[in-house]
Structure formats: C-alpha cells, structure tokens
Amino acid sequence: MSPGAKPSADTLRQYEQLKADIERHQYHYYVLSEPLLPDIEFDRLFQQLLDFEQQYPNLTSAESPTQRVGVKPDDGFTEVVHLQRMLSLDNAFSDEQVHDFERRIHDRLNTAAAIRYSVEPKLDGAAISIVYEGGQLLRAATRGDGQKGEDVTHNVKTIASVPLRLLGDGHPDVLEVRGEIFMPSAGFEAFNARAREAGEKVFANPRNAAAGSLRQLDPSVTAQRPLDIFIYGIGVVEGGALPGFHSEVLQQLQAWGLKVCPEIDVVIGADGCLDYYRSIGARREALPYEIDGVVYKVDGYDLQRELGQVSRAPRWALAHKFPAQEQLTTVKAIDFQVGRTGAITPVARLAPVAVAGVVVSNATLHNIGELLRKDVRVGDTVIVRRAGDVIPEVVRVVIERRSGNPPEVSLPEHCPVCGSDVVCPEGEAVARCSGGLVCAAQRKQALKHFVSRKALDIEGMGSKLIDQLVDSGRVSHFSDLFALTAAELAQMDRMGEKSAKNLMAAIESAKRTTLPKFLYALGIREVGEATALSLANYFGDIEPIISASMDELQEVSDVGPVVAEHIRSFMNQQHNREVINDLLRRHKIHWPKIDKPAADIELPFSGKTIVVTGTPVSYTHLTLPTIYSV
C-alpha cells in the first residue's frame, strides 16, 4: 500500500479501537501502577499502532499515544515541567536490529568509523530527574509524559543512596541528573511476603513496587520501602562544564557521590554491544536487582548531538531487551498442595509457556486469600512471572479474555491428600489441613525436614526415598525410620546393598545428636534453628519443654506468644508426645546433657564423638573442657 493511502471505514474503526486500548493500558500502567498486560503484549499493541501510522501517515493525530512518552500526571502531586524533555528509548529484540541501529548511525554520520558506546544494564524501575542547585538537592520529579512529571522531592529524599548535597567541588551551578529508582529483588520479595501474610495488596513486580512507592502521598511510607537508585545520565547543565563523553560524565557523577551502576562499560561497535548483551544476560539472574535488557548509548556527546532525536527517542541510544519475565498463558487446572505444616497452597497448572528462557507449566498462587483476591479460574488467561530463582507465580488474570462464566475456585473443605478437615483460622491468609502427621503429604515433608542436614542429618535419606517409604506404608512417623532394616532399604528403587548398609550406618549415628538439633528436627511451627537453640539453653532438657506453660516458654529470649502457642499445641498432642517418647526410650536418641556437673560427656565433633570432661553451661559453651578420648 502506498503511503498516504485512504483507509477504509473498517480500518479507521480498528485504528480508533487500538488507540483507545493503548490509552486504557497506559492509564492502568502509569496512573494506577497496576498493568493489565505484560509489557511484551503492550509493546506489541504499540508496535501495531506505529505500523498503522506508518502505513497511513494522514491518520496520525496530535493526541495519538505515539506522540507522547507516558501519560498525564496524576492528582495529588505538584506538576513539574521538565527543563529538558525526558525521552524514551527505541527497543531491539534481535542481533540484527542492533546491527541495523549501527548502520543507521553510520549512514547519518556519513562515516564507517568505529563507534564507541557506553553499555549499561536497563534497570526495571521508575525514571527520575533530580536537580541539584549549588550542589544541593533542589527537586526530584517523575518522568510523567516526558514534558511534565510529578514533584516527588519529599519521597526521593527518603532514599539513603540519594545524596542531599553533592560531594567534592567543581559542580555546575545547576545540574540535572537522571536515573532509575528501583526496588532490589531481595527487598521486593520480602516486602511482598510480608504483605501477603498480612492479606494486603502485593506488587505485581519490582517496577510497580518502585513506581508505587515513589508516588506515595506520605513520605514516611516511602521511607519504609527498600528503594535504591542508579544515575544513568544528565539533563540540564548550567554554569559549569562536564567531560565530552557520557562514560566520563558518569565517572564524574560518581565522584560527586551519585550512585552509578557498577556494571556499566564502554565497548566498540555493534559486536562489542552484543558481547556485552550476552555477558550481562548470563549474569542477569545473579544480579541483586531486575533488569529487562541493556542500553547502548553513543559515548561522544558531539556525535549524540549530530544524531539528534525523533519524537519519542534519541537516535543515539537503543534498548536491547531480554526475553520477557512475564508472559500470557491459560490456566488448565487449579490444584491444592499440602506442605510440612499443613499449609495448603493453590497451584495453577498452565499451558506450557517459555518465560525468560525456561518453560513454565506450574505457578504458585501462594495462598487461598491471594487466589480469591486474584479470582483466578480454570480457563482464564493469566500473566505469569518468573524472576531469578523464585518460584513462578500468577500475577493476575486478564479479565477481558475470560470467556463465559467459569465457576469460582473455592477452598476445598477436605485435604486433597488425607481427607481431614481444612481449617482457615480467622485473620490468617493461610488455610491448613488439620490432619497433622495423619496426612501423608505432611508426613513426607515432616520426615524430609527431620532427616535434613541441620536437623538429625541422616545422609543418604533423600526425598524420593522418603516418598517411597511413606507410600509403601513402611514409614509413618519419625521413629519408624529407626526401625528400618538393611534388607528393607535394599528393596527400594535405586538402592543397592551397599547404599542400604551405608544408610543404616547413617541412621545409627544420627541417634547421637544435640538437644537443639532434636528440637529443630521436630518441625514445630516457627521453631527454627535459633529458637531451638534458645529453648535448649534455657530449659536444658526435653522434659521441661514438654511440660512448660505458656508463661514459662515466653521467658525464653526469642519466644513470643505465637511461638509459645505453637510449642504448646504441638506438645499437647498425645501423638507427638508418644513419638518423642519412642525416639528417646525405644530408639535411644540421645544428646550430651548440660547443666549437670559431668565428669565426662560425649559431644559430636566433626563427624566423630569426642569425650570431654568439664561442665557444659549451654549448648554453645562449656567450662574449659579437657578432651581425653576420641
């Protein structure tokens, strides 16, 4: 079709619809910080619009989404007119597009000379402009639509890595720096885990978390959020001179106390760019923050000026995107899994989809509260997200793509594994199977915990073996492990006589343990290693813990009412007391006693047992012992 061809009525309708869709998505993305689509889908719509407008240039109106960078600022913040427009970046998704980028640069500069690029991670957060006047932080503003943003000075000042005053000297009178505010991955996961536990709204991804935190009306809320910043460029500079290369300017900014990403480098040519893309790509998951690609920038400012910009983006920069961490797929089924403490986790079974290079076919929905809030139903189209080594999760339903009226998913009344009642205590987001160790799923998880390294440490007792032992009915409780015979073990899959014998020896030596390890191994809710050690040190033996009252338990340094309640309810169950009794009396699980002046006691040490004499005063300290046999 020739440029300027007249569109049909149908085409016009399609075009208007596309514009309206994009506007709606931009509103959800920028204003509500709750995107309806993964970025990759949005980019596809946007590209369709660009293609349309290229085909029918007469169509393009001033208010087309292609004519502006973002959306209008929200209410509640003062508007800031940027001293210099904040641009966006063109995207590339293939090596070929990177070579095309360089070819365009060569053509435009009318040269074949090697081009030097600053190469940088493309951070996934919220763009910010910060103006320093006389070295003092004057104002910080969001990008907004590129021309006008929101004044978020108070919030930005709460971020510890943003200097309120520049270091050193020689700063220009006015210096506008630009960068990205982001929430590091660990902080994001911890923040969402806490919100999820409290049944509060979680953020879809670190980018929304950063943008949402920055746009809090109350700076004390922002101050609680683990935000960080990397500066990646400059805007207006008045009354002072800066170096002629972008990479040198970044070094200067760093010397003035501004935080610059340590991964930034300088390379030559498109091939250098592609090498950088691959090397950062290989380390992407190990970085402590999320990136969605890399950015290539022509390093020389003189060349940048010569290249100039088109409406949305400079010709001298390119974002080369990584495979997306969010994708669309459909829900085939929703199952419920039972964990060690009986927690019931809804899991979505998905039509397999590649997310950031890995095929995902299951995703967690975390807990029943979150499943209901997200209202995920079988057949729904959903956004799945996979980042780093975190379990893939369902972010949200694309509600417009729901067809018909599939039934709501509800919490099963009975445990899918053992049929016991499922309980959901008031005010708790997590539902649990009430079957305890009657439930095979809980039994397996409890046994896996019991034999793990920091617990009784039975080497060779792997997860698959425990599944077999439980499924065959051979093992139900911890104490059954100590009644196993070499002949029985040798019959299990992938077990020979030799490994059975080794395992028997490991089981035997696990009988000699310590009180903290034994307490930890029991798998009482919220009794981790540290709490087990405190309990052991305080009470000195298991019997006083079994009979301790709520008050006595709370005398222990890190035991509060919740943990005390978990310990009491565990010990109150006759069945649990019987298992402990069986382990100690019948199977002779034992540990060195403390708090009794002992002439000689045995202590496990480096895989051996040492016999020491002295008075142990806690599980970490002895009065000067003398070793007299090994």
Name the one range near ligand IVH by CB under 6 A: 57-65, 312-320, 511-519, 582-590. 312-320
CA 376, CA 381: separation in Å to the nearest integer?
9
- Residue 213 DSSP SS3: helix
Chain residues 344-373 in contact with ligand IVH, contact rule CB under 6 A: none
Chain residues 258-297 in contact with ligand IVH, contact rule CB under 6 A: 295
Segment 225-228 long-range contacts (CB within 8 Å, at least 24 positions apart): 225/183, 225/187, 225/191, 226/183, 226/184, 226/186, 226/187, 226/188, 226/190, 226/191, 227/158, 227/159, 227/181, 227/182, 227/183, 227/187, 228/159, 228/161, 228/181, 228/182, 228/183, 228/184, 228/259, 228/289
Q: Which residue bears the tokens 């292609």?
A: 66
Q: Which residue bears the tokens 């019987």?
A: 578
Is residue 145 within 8 A of residue 69, CB to CB? The reply is yes
**Cβ partners under 8 Å of residue 6, min gap 6:** none
Instruction: For ligand IVH, give the closer residue by CB, 29 or 591.
Output: 29
Return the number of other C-beta atoms located less than 10 Å from residue 225's C-beta: 21
- The DSSP 8-state label assigned to residue 382 in this structure reads E
CA 195, CA 455: separation in Å to the nearest integer?
30
Q: What are phi and psi of 433, to 5 degrees?
A: -80, 135
Chain residues 178-217 in contact with ligand IVH, contact rule CB under 6 A: 180
Q: Which of 122, 386, 432, 517 binds ligand IVH (CB under 6 A)?
A: 122
Is residue 592 within 8 A of residue 621, CB to CB? The reply is no
Name the one range near ligand IVH by CB under 6 A: 7-15, 118-126, 146-154, 407-415. 118-126
Helices 440-451 and 463-471 sit at what angle, rounded to 10 degrees? 140
- Residue 255 DSSP SS3: helix
Instruction: For ligand IVH, give the closer residue by CB, 147 or 330.
Output: 147
Instruction: For ligand IVH, give the closer residue by CB, 317 or 458.
Output: 317
Instruction: For ligand IVH, give the closer residue by CB, 304 or 514.
Output: 304
Q: Which of 123, 229, 347, 583 binds ligand IVH (CB under 6 A)?
A: 123
Q: Which of 22, 36, 80, 89 binds ligand IVH (CB under 6 A)?
A: 89
Instruction: For ligand IVH, give the closer residue by CB, 143 or 386.
Output: 143
Chain residues 552-591 in contact with ligand IVH, contact rule CB under 6 A: none
Q: Which residue is nearest to ligand IVH (CB)?
A: 127
Name the one range near ligand IVH by CB under 6 A: 5-13, 81-89, 212-220, 506-514. 81-89
Q: Which of 26, 33, 64, 88 binds ligand IVH (CB under 6 A)?
A: 88
Residue 441 CB, shortest distance to ligand IVH, in Å, is: 44
Number of residues that bind ligand IVH (CB under 6 A): 15
Q: Which of 317, 324, 455, 503 binds ligand IVH (CB under 6 A)?
A: 317
Active site positions, annotated: 122
**Cβ partners under 8 Å of residue 545, min gap 6:** 519, 535, 539, 553, 567, 571
Q: Which of 22, 37, 87, 559 binds ligand IVH (CB under 6 A)?
A: 87
Instruction: For ligand IVH, give the closer residue by CB, 88 or 213.
Output: 88
| H helix count then E strand count, the chain | 22, 21
Q: Which residue bears the tokens 């799923």?
A: 441
- Beta bridge mates, 327: 384
Instruction: For ligand IVH, give the closer residue by CB, 53 or 180.
Output: 180
- Is residue 102 close enough to count as binding ligand IVH by CB under 6 A? no
Q: Which of 36, 92, 127, 273 binds ligand IVH (CB under 6 A)?
A: 127
Is residue 225 within 8 A of residue 212, CB to CB? The reply is no
Residue 112 CB, shortest distance to ligand IVH, in Å, is: 25
Binding-residue pattern over the window 224 to 263 for ligand IVH, x denoting contact by CB under 6 A: --------xx------------------------------
Residue 118 CB, shortest distance to ligand IVH, in Å, is: 9
- Residue 133 DSSP SS3: strand
| Beta-sheet strands, E only, within 183-254 | 228-238
CA 299, CA 229: separation in Å to the nearest integer?
22
Q: Which of 476, 290, 253 is nearest to 387 (CA)?
A: 290
Instruction: For ligand IVH, give the closer residue by CB, 21 or 292.
Output: 292
Name the one range near ligand IVH by CB under 6 A: 87-95, 144-152, 516-524, 581-589. 87-95
Binding-residue pattern over the window 142 to 181 for ligand IVH, x denoting contact by CB under 6 A: -x------------------------------------x-
Residue 266 CB, shortest distance to ligand IVH, in Å, is: 13
Instruction: For ligand IVH, give the closer residue by CB, 319 or 622.
Output: 319
Helices 206-214 and 185-197 sit at what angle, rounded to 10 degrees? 80
Name the one range near ligand IVH by CB under 6 A: 116-124, 157-165, 537-545, 603-611. 116-124
Q: Enumerate binding residues for ligand IVH (CB under 6 A).
A: 87-89, 120, 122-123, 127, 143, 180, 232-233, 295, 314, 317, 319
